Structure 1
Amino acid sequence: MAKSLQEQLLAAGLVDKKKAKKSAKAMKKQEHLQRTGQDNELDVAKQKAEAARQKKAEQDRELNLQREAAAQQKAIQAQIKQLIDTNAISSERGDIKYQFVGSDNKIKQLYVDQAIWDRLSRGQLAIIAQGKSHAVIPVPVTEKIRQRDEKIFIYIAENQSAELEEDDPYAAYQIPDDLMW
């Protein structure tokens, strides 16, 4: 007569008597649960645990995505700050007031020297909001900044040599070059 698998494993020395008894007891318990219908309760508990695990994994994924987005935004802001700091044109003896309309539609003023004022008024330089202050930067740098963040406030003076309107009543009057408002 053929020996059972358990007897063969015991004879080969792969399993000891304690493990064999433990596995036999677990099998009898499982058979009893199936006969009495309590096995379904274990399956329901397993399903609930699996659903909770999947929900936790999904929440962790979303949290990681939010953290990555925040880190990406922080890196972009650092790049913008570096572009502004390295390309900012400072005016040590700024005695001329340059006025412009700020992001809140209020007139802001910035003290600059004559060379910077001329370049600002011709649209060769731009003014960018840097926190609560403003900085003067070259126009090509503004394109690099706008590629990173389109919402940042950048003021570039419009070219005054634009064509005059046909029905402009003040077209005959010349605006002086040295007019400061």
Structure 2
Amino acid sequence: MSSLQEQLMKAGLADKKKATQIKHEKRKKAKQQPKGHKAKDELKEQIAADKQRKIEQDRALNEQKQAELKAKEQRATIKQMLEHHGVTDFKGEIDYNYIYQGVTKTFKVNPKIKQSLVQGTLAICAIDNLVKLIPDVIARKLQTIDPDVVLVMHDRLAKQDIDEDDPYAEYQVPDDLMW
């Protein structure tokens, strides 16, 4: 079978002059367009996509490093506050139990410190195996930075809601029972 141009010429719908002119224009367009033009465009697109992906990876890595740096700074701040504001004169003969990293630990405290812990004016805080007794004001500041640092802090403002129908309402249950 012959080409479409030949078929049109045989049918009398196109002449030889018109066919050569169309062929010439086709060849001219092909020569004007540089060879490998499509390959260059694809290469440029691939380079741009790689560059964009690299920028996104760098941004994500930078955000991760910033978060790690911020966490490290917070830990250093917490440690410094614990060391600076820690109560040192608490040694006594009364055991005060608390839980740290899933294990029950014990402080030997004097009666005054125990009463302060029960009332909520002192708190037990820990970070990286550094456990300290600190004032509740400092413990609240630490709690805003990292809630996991505060191990024991009784709320001194909390009052138990007493139910009017409770038959034991007039009997107070002490919080400092020794078991």
1:84: which partner in 2? 82
The correspondence of residues 1-181 of structure 1 with structure 2, limited to 5 A, is 35=33, 37-91=35-89, 93-100=91-98, 104=102, 108-132=105-129, 134-159=131-156, 162=160, 164-173=162-171, 179-181=177-179
Contiguous gaps of at least 5 residues in structure 1: 1-31
Q: Distance in 2 between matches of 1:140 and 1:111?
A: 23
Deviations 1:74-96 (A, max 9, x none): 11111111111111112463321
Q: Offset of 1:172 from its aligned partner?
A: 4.9
Contact 1:128 1:153 (8 Å CA) reproduced: yes
Gap change, CA 1:87 and 1:33, over 3 Å in 2: farther
Equivalent pairs, count: 149
Q: CA deviation at 1:179?
A: 4.3
Tell me whether 63-72 or 151-160 shows the greater mean CA deviation.
151-160
Give distance in 1, aligned partners of 2:99 and 2:58: 45
Q: Which moved more, 1:135-144 or 1:163-172?
A: 163-172
* Residues 91 and 167 of structure 1: CA distance in aligned 2, closer, same or farther (over 3 Å): farther
Give, in angstroms, the shift of residue 65 of structure 1. Answer: 0.9
Q: Decide which moves more: 140-149 or 151-160.
A: 151-160
Q: TM-score, normalised by structure 1?
A: 0.66
Separation in 1 of the partners of 2:176 and 2:144? 35
Conserved 8 A contact 1:142-1:154 = no
Please give the alpha-carbon distance, in whole angstroms, between the structure 1 residues aligned to 2:161 and 2:34.
Answer: 93
| Identity between Structure 1 and Structure 2 (%) | 33
Distance in structure 1 (CA, Å) of the matches to 2:141 and 2:65 = 25
Q: What TM-score does the superposition give when structure 2 sets the normalisation length?
A: 0.66
Task: Tell me how far 1:118 sits from its aligned partner.
Answer: 1.6
Distance change (3 Å), C-alpha of 1:118 and 1:39:
same
Amino acid at match of 1:154: L
Structure 2 regions of 5+ residues with no counterpart? 1-29
Deviation at 1:59, TM superposition (A): 0.5
Q: What secondary structure sits across from 2:120 in the alignment? A: coil
**1:168 Cα shift?**
4.1
Per the alignment, do residues 169 and 101 of structure 1 end up closer, same or farther by CA in structure 2, a change over 3 Å counting? farther
Question: 1:82 is matched by which residue type in structure 2?
Answer: Q
Alpha-carbon distance in 1 for matches of 2:174, 2:62 = 59
Task: Look up the equivalent residue of 2:47 and give its one-letter code.
Answer: A
